[in-house]
């Protein structure tokens, strides 16, 4: 454990000399629907509300004036399986993510249009190999690799009413979004495991999505994506050919949601429901084959307490979330998922940007004998504290208890301690 922590501390020291872009502040649940990744971060100011002097006078500022915003994020984990799991040892991981947002109105005069390109690389071994869990104790956990992760074009076909997004995408950026669960390391609170067929990290996929806003506080959305990952295809490593040709499997998803603003006697919140379908010919656990797999999900988020309720821009307070989802257990390993938790921004005096979180997430495995699960489900309890050290650097201690990892009775309950470093430039 000590060597891993020292390596990460040295990495943080090196990054300290490179900071040129302030970190993004967390915001209240005021948006009617999640917008495109990258677009919402462009041009943000630092924690004190003043633009970074380096960014204001350097090459990055000039690029932003032309309509180009560069974003760099480095995540580094030092994790230890303290007890149980497959084995007890320490593991260090890292993720480098680089994104470029292009405002096509500034660049080419195309009003309401933008592009986003994102590339990542992930060195280090898998924490899963030590924990043996299903949900994933850190969402960056994936075999060593790198790829052009996203590359899409977005445009408002009808201003403020109809948005179109085309290209290589991450499904959870737009569908089944749990905004207040984004700081948890475990996949379960923020990413429904029942949507395992939807394109997501580490394999995005080409597709198209349509978003309609019939009223100020509501949205309807639908997407169609390359679903060939269900046949073992690495969709993140290939082009758009599978979206139109063999193996001709598509992932379809539709969602409806509504948000509500802060009122005199209540905080802001949002709720959504969605359904999805995979059109492929899939193997059943009973040995047969079936066309299509289906599922549905629902999400609810609500501000419970606000430190400054009259300030719509102040995120300090307590937000609760809950999500539930169901999938086709005849062909999918996870038949159901439930998660709930709270996130407290500014929990201590003078620490307005720090975040304290607690969540419970449970997956229910397929009852089909051939699915191979000894235990009916896996439950994770997670707590973390995100310490905003500088405008660009945060340190997050995280503790997780994993009950019945992967539904395998041969694996003992695991206790995992992680120290994450987050640097945004």
Whether residue 359 contacts residue 137, with contact meaning beta carbons closer than 8 Å, is answered with no
Closest CA to 337 of 277, 286, 380, 382: 380
Cα 49 to chain centroid, rounded: 26
Q: How many CA atoms lie within 13 Å of 197's alpha carbon, on the beta-carbon side?
A: 32
Contact between 39 and 101 (Cβ < 8 Å):
yes
In the block, tokens 């100011």 appear at 45
Separation CA 137–CA 131 (nearest Å): 8
Question: In 10 A of CB 59, how many CB atoms?
Answer: 11
Count the Cβ atoms, other than its own, within 10 Å of residue 66.
11
pLDDT at 87 over 50: yes
Eight-state DSSP code of residue 340: E
Kindly write down the DSSP assignment for every residue of 210-258, as one continuous string: EEEEEETTEEEEEEEEE-GGGGT--GGGS-SHHHHSTT--EEEEEEEEE
Tokens 């990892």 appear where? 405
Of the pLDDT bands very low, low, confident and very high (cuts 50, 70, 90), residue 263 is confident
Q: Which domain holds residue 143?
A: 2-424
Q: Give, in order, the Cα–Cα distances in Å from 425 to each of 58, 69, 71, 78, 317.
A: 13, 11, 6, 21, 26
- 115 contacts 71 by C-beta, under 8 angstroms: no
The answer to whether 325 touches 194, Cβ cutoff 8 Å, is: yes
- The per-residue pLDDT for range 112-161, each reduced to its tens digit, is 999 999 999 998 888 999 999 999 999 999 888 889 999 999 999 999 99
Asked if 152 and 169 count as a contact pair (C-beta separation under 8 A), the reply is: yes
User: Is-contact 342 317, C-beta < 8 A?
Assistant: no
CB atoms inside a 10 Å sphere around CB 202: 18
The pTM score is 0.85
pLDDT at 236 over 70: yes
CATH number, position 15: 2.40.160.180
Number of domains, the chain? 1
Mean pLDDT of 171-200: 94
Best CA proximity match to 359, nearest among 382, 386, 376, 385: 382
What is the rounded average pLDDT of the residues 219-242?
Answer: 86
Q: How far apart are CA 157 and CA 210, in angstroms?
A: 10
Give the tens place of pLDDT for each residue, 304-340.
Answer: 999 988 887 888 999 999 999 999 989 889 999 999 9
The pLDDT value recorded for residue 82 is: 97
pLDDT band, very low/low/confident/very high, at 55 (cuts 50, 70, 90): very low
Give the whole-angstrom CA distance, residue 196 versus residue 176. Answer: 12
């Amino acid at each position: 454990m000590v060597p891993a922590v020292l390596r990460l501390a040295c990495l943080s020291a090196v990054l300290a000399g490179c900071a040129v872009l302030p970190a993004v502040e967390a915001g209240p649940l005021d948006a009617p629907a999640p917008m495109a990744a990258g677009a919402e971060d462009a041009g943000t100011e630092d924690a004190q509300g003043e633009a970074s002097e380096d960014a204001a006078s350097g090459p990055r500022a000039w690029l932003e004036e032309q309509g180009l915003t560069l974003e760099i994020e480095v995540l580094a984990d030092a994790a230890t399986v303290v007890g149980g799991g497959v084995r007890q040892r320490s593991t260090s991981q890292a993720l480098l993510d680089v994104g470029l947002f292009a405002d096509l109105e500034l660049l080419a005069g195309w009003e309401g249009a933008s592009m986003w390109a994102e590339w990542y690389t992930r060195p280090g071994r898998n924490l899963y190999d030590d924990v043996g869990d299903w949900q994933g104790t850190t969402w960056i956990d994936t075999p060593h690799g790198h790829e052009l992760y996203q590359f899409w074009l977005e445009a408002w076909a009808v201003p403020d009413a109809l948005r179109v997004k085309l290209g290589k995408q991450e499904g959870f950026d737009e569908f089944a979004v749990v905004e207040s669960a984004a700081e948890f390391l475990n996949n379960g609170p923020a990413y429904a495991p029942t949507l395992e067929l939807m394109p997501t990290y580490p394999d995005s996929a080409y597709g198209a999505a349509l978003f309609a806003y019939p009223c100020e506080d509501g949205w309807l959305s639908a997407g169609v994506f390359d679903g060939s990952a269900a046949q073992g295809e690495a969709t993140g490593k290939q082009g758009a050919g599978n979206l139109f040709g063999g193996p001709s499997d598509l992932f379809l998803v539709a969602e409806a949601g509504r948000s509500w603003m802060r009122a005199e006697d209540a905080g802001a919140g949002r709720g959504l429901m969605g359904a999805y379908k995979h059109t492929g010919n899939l193997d059943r656990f009973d040995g047969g084959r079936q066309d299509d797999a289906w599922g549905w999900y629902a999400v609810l988020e609500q501000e419970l307490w606000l430190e400054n309720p009259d300030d719509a821009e102040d995120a300090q307070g307590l937000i609760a979330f809950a999500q539930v989802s169901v999938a086709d257990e005849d062909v999918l390993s996870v038949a159901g998922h439930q998660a709930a938790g709270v996130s407290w921004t500014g929990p201590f005096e003078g620490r307005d940007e720090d975040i304290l979180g607690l969540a419970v997430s449970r997956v229910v495995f397929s009852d089909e004998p051939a699915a191979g699960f000894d235990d009916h489900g896996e439950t994770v309890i997670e707590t973390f504290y995100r310490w905003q050290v500088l405008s660009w650097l945060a340190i997050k201690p995280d503790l997780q208890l994993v009950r019945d990892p992967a539904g395998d009775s041969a694996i003992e309950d695991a206790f995992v301690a992680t120290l994450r470093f987050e640097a945004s430039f």
